[in-house]
Amino acid sequence: MAITGVHNIGKVLELKLEAVGIMSLEDLIELGTEEAFLRLLANNKNSSRSVMFSLEGAITGVRWHILDEKRKKELDEFYKSVIDTRR
């Protein structure tokens, strides 16, 4: 399945994903949220926490606003650890 039309993935994010070799929802699922985010961040230093939440929502099939709070906390901690190591 292509990325187009997947929850949370608009045209701009779709292009960013394609630029790092993520061409389908299956690719995204196989990589997982954290690895996909790291690829995006390596290619675009302005990748944000909301982008990471969008990836997780795409993988789980829900809008990122209603992600499980426990998972959001895990992702938030991951994001902070990645950003802290880049400073």
CATH number of 11-86: 1.10.150.20
Question: From residue 83, how far is each of 8, 35, 66, 77 by CA, in Å?
Answer: 22, 14, 24, 10
Residue type, 81: S
- pLDDT, one tens digit per residue, over 55-77 is 999 999 999 889 999 999 999 99
Look at residue 1 and tell me whether its pLDDT is greater than 70: no
Cα 56 from chain centroid (whole Å): 6
pLDDT at 45: 85
How far apart are alpha carbons 70 and 57 in whole angstroms?
14
Look at residue 3 and tell me whether its pLDDT is greater than 90: no
pTM tops 0.85, yes or no: yes
pLDDT at 87: 59
Q: Residue 37: how many CA atoms within 13 Å on its side-chain side?
A: 24
- pLDDT, one tens digit per residue, over 14-38 is 999 999 999 999 999 999 999 999 9
Look at residue 2 and tell me whether its pLDDT is greater than 80: no
Domain boundaries defined on the chain: 11-86
Helix (H, G, I), strand (E, B) or coil at 7: coil
How far apart are alpha carbons 56 and 50 in whole angstroms?
10
